[in-house]
Amino acid sequence: MRTIEIVAIPEYAISAEECSQLEILLDQCFPNTFAGRTYFKQLPHFRLLALDEGSVVAQVGIDARVVTVGGTTVSILGLIDTAVHPARRGQRIATRLLAEAERIARAGQRDFLVLMADRHDLYLKAGYHRVQPAPTKWLAIEDRQSAELMTRDLSDCFMAKPLTEKGWPAGTIDMLGYVF
């Protein structure tokens, strides 16, 4: 088996070829969602790419930010659109991407890794937990425009992994921007 290389690349440094590969990967993994873009609502700050001989076989976007939870400021890395090429699933590539994201977050002294997931199994195995309840406020973006401030309980998808001894605070989660 060939060695998969995991690289962190700022969004502005992604090559045209990598961008093209990301468009294809995201469309394969999330049909009828990305419409040929490499992002859903907003570009991430950087990405972790899994490369096999220079070809993108998996990715996760990452946002660095603070959010507030019940008035407490929490420093996070938000994970966005974890995607593994269908032919490469079951090879622990997503697990390696999550481990690298955690390494980066710990080095950056983040409190939590945060993500929204429809399927929870991979993340539960990696030490994430579902935040319940998860009353959340965020900026809705529609058709590349700020739409409105949304408020909803995201208990069905909101997941966090603590990176310190702190537990997830109680209260309303203010994303201070869009939800990833």
pLDDT tens track for 60-104: 999 999 999 999 999 999 999 999 999 999 999 999 999 999 999
pLDDT tens track for 5-15: 999 999 999 99
* For residues 152-162, average pLDDT: 97
pLDDT for residue 1: 52
Is the pLDDT at 2 greater than 90? The verdict is no
| Residue-range domain boundaries for the chain | 5-174
d(CA 57, CA 88): 7
Q: Does domain 5-174 have CATH number 3.40.50.1370?
A: no
- Tell me the pLDDT of the chain averaged across its residues: 95
| SS3 readout for 4-57 | CEEEEEEHHHCCHHHHHHHHHHHHHHCCCCCCCCCCCCCCCCEEEEEEECCEEE
Element (H, E) at 131: none
pLDDT for residue 143: 82
* For residues 120-139, average pLDDT: 96
pLDDT for residue 35: 85
- Provide the percentage of residues in the chain whose pLDDT is more than 70: 99
* For residues 153-166, average pLDDT: 96
